[in-house]
Amino acid sequence: MMSMLDVKRAYKALFLAEDGTLNEHAKIIMDDLRSFCRADSSTAVMSPATKCIDPLASMLAEGRREAFMRIDQMVHLPDRVLTDTDD
């Protein structure tokens, strides 16, 4: 089983350029995911039928947002925060 440090390093290898910034493909992906996952907006979803907040659609949107935040955090998390023993 891989350690959290190994996982974090894999995210960095995939998304970051040599200088530590997002590589060109990662910028495109993160911009797309930021929009799709509602990273910068509310995850409350209004039902067009009832005009009320739809709790199931809102939970789905929050799950997407959580996945985006995981990627973003792993890419930008400094190595010193995790050790090989973290799981």
27-61: pLDDT as tens digits: 999 999 999 999 999 999 999 999 999 999 999 99
pLDDT at 82: 67
pLDDT at 81: 75
Mean pLDDT value of segment 4-20: 93
Residue 84 has φ and ψ, to the nearest 5°, of: -65, -15
Residue 33, SS3? helix
Higher pLDDT, 80 or 68: 68
pLDDT at 50: 96
pLDDT at 83: 60
8 A C-beta contact, residue 51 and residue 59: no
A 10 A CB-CB count for 61 gives: 19
The Cα–Cα gap between 20 and 12 comes to 8
